[in-house]
A = this chain, B = another copy of it.
Amino acid sequence: MADLKFSISGENVNPTKFVARSRQFTLTIDEPEGLGGTDQGANPVEFLLAAYAGCLNVMGHIVARELGFGLKSIRIEAEGDLNPAKVFGHQTTDRPGYKEIRVNIFPEADAAESTLAKWLEIIESRCPVNDNLINPTPVKINLKNATVKAA
């Protein structure tokens, strides 16, 4: 299959609130007040968990069809812990991002336990967001068209 390109673009409304557009959709990201934000949207690391859960859900339904069992619904909980020290410029040996992400999947399915174990294994091996989290993903960040004044 040919590669697909996905994209978003957006601008900040205040230092923490960022409004991203993706096709016809608008995604508003902010930080809670305790992290210096205006709390008008879920924050970036909550968006990351939502992306992950949404991807596991899609894969769950695709793989259930392949394995031929009925999957009525999936409920997913996802959580992670991170030390915000690096974000705020404090000394730490902790990484800035999630140290670990934990997910609970509650499938309502007409399937044996062994089938569900296989189901989950296949989901993990084929889920795009899972792949981008558990394996290194190359990123290229370019500074563009900056309004620059001489120092």
Contact = CB atoms under 8 A, between A and B. Distances in A.
Interface of A: 1-12, 15-16, 18, 20, 22-23, 25, 27, 29, 31-32, 36-37, 41-62, 66, 72-90, 92, 94-117, 120, 124-151
Contact of A84 (B4, B43, B136): B4
Contact of A75 (B9, B47, B101, B128): B9
B8 A115 contact: no
B10 A112 contact: no
Contacts of A2: 83
Nearest to A131: B97
B50 A83 contact: no
B89 A132 contact: no
